[in-house]
């Protein structure tokens, strides 16, 4: 019986280290175990402690997937330059996740494939991680008021929330943390801060690294190169990778509080990334315009 991977084709091997390993051979082993053509399996990302494969085939045979984790790890572990550990494991979203299931339960798994898909989707969708960003937080110069607020808000909505490490103002580091959160199966990944127009602001750029087609919208635009601004405006973004939604929110706490109900509404309505990004940017843009208007009135009054 064939199974449709439903566009969820990435597979992560976590807690693995490499030392001059042959990536082509690694992909070949995975293809061999899953009985796929070698060109259908690609290594798409390598990190210090995990590796990501992409299965370039939408339909696979059930007997070639279910319960294959042990065989895959055994064959990879026998390769030169591949180091596995007691806590090495395979993770994937959707149907491909059956690689980690017990083969003895294969008939029952196939019989209940739709139920399993729904359960996997629900479980992942309710796992959230919140990443604060910025030098000022990492150095303890200011208090992080966003993370506790978002944690409480999401937990009240039934999410299991993990607080991520403070992300440096660095594009490589930021994109690494987003990729890592994806590999760990978080369905909602939120960053706060780093969406401004200064050179140090990297959150939106990191989002576009992990989802090249992420929806990105301006909150405010201005002349590029004026003052500290090296970009032409302040943007927020929403991405989608498999079952995981990634949202880059601003840093000011009042803006996070304003955006949060809109985000929850979009999540509850299963709005796509384009709609979500547009609605978030609209509510934030209105606030900034109101601030600008009040600032202008205040200075006009003083001048008079």
85-107 pLDDT, tens digit per residue, is: 999 999 887 667 778 776 665 55
Q: How confident is the model at residue 242 (pLDDT cuts 50, 70, 90)?
A: confident
C-alpha span between 246 and 253 (Å, rounded): 19
pLDDT at 174 over 70: yes
**Phi–psi pair at 192, nearest 5 degrees:** -120, 130
Q: In what order do the strands lie in the sheet with 160-163?
A: 160-163, 127-132, 188-192, 244-249, 233-241, 215-221
What does pTM read for this prediction?
0.65
| Terminal Cα-to-Cα distance of the chain (whole angstroms) | 80
d(CA 281, CA 81): 47
What gap in Å lies between CA 130 and CA 153, rounded to an integer? 12
Cα 141 from chain centroid (whole Å): 27
Percent of the chain clearing pLDDT 70 (strictly above): 83
Name the residue ranges covered by the structural domains of the chain.
2-123, 126-291
The structure tokens listed for 237 are 């973004």
CA dist., res. 96 & res. 76, Å (int): 18
CA–CA separation, 279 and 20 (whole Å):
47
**Quick one: pLDDT at residue 227?**
60
CATH topology of domain 126-291: Molybdenum Cofactor Biosythetic Enzyme; Chain A (3.40.980)
What is the C-alpha to C-alpha distance for residues 43 and 163, in angstroms, rounded to an integer? 29
Least confident stretch, 75-84, 89-98, 130-139: 89-98
**Which CATH number describes the domain made up of 2-123?**
3.30.70
Q: Between residues 254 and 300, which one has the greater pLDDT?
A: 254
pLDDT-based confidence at residue 199 (cuts at 50, 70, 90): confident
pLDDT of residue 110: 58
152-184 burial: b if 16+ Cβ within 10 Å, else e: ebbeeeebebeebebbbbeeeebbbbbbbbbbb
């Amino acid at each position: 019986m064939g199974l449709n991977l439903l566009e969820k084709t990435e597979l992560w091997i976590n807690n693995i280290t490499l030392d001059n390993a042959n990536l082509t051979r690694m992909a070949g082993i995975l293809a061999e175990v899953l009985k796929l053509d070698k060109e259908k399996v690609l290594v798409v990302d390598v990190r210090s402690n995990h590796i990501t494969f992409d299965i370039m085939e939408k339909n696979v045979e059930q007997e070639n997937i279910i319960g294959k984790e042990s065989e895959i790890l055994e064959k990879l572990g026998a390769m030169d330059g591949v180091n596995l550990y007691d806590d090495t494991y395979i993770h994937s979203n959707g149907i491909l996740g059956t690689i980690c299931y017990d083969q003895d339960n294969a008939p029952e798994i196939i019989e209940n494939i739709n139920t399993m898909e729904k359960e996997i989707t629900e479980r992942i969708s309710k796992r959230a991680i919140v990443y604060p960003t910025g030098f000022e937080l990492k150095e303890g110069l200011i208090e992080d008021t966003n993370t506790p607020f978002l944690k409480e808000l999401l937990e009240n909505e039934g999410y299991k929330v993990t607080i991520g490490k403070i992300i440096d103002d660095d594009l490589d580091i930021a994109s690494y943390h987003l990729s890592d959160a994806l590999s760990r199966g978080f369905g909602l990944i939120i960053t706060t801060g780093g969406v401004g127009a200064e050179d140090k602001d990297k959150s939106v750029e990191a989002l576009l690294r992990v989802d090249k087609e992420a929806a990105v919208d301006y909150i405010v635009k201005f002349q590029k190169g004026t003052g500290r601004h090296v970009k032409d405006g302040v943007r927020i973004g929403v991405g989608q990778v498999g079952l995981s939604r990634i949202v880059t929110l601003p840093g000011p706490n009042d803006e996070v509080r304003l955006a949060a109900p809109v985000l929850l509404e979009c999540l509850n309505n299963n709005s796509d990334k384009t709609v979500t990004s547009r609605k978030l940017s609209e509510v934030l843009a209105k606030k900034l315009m109101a601030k600008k208007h009040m600032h202008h009135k205040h200075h006009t009054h003083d001048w008079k």
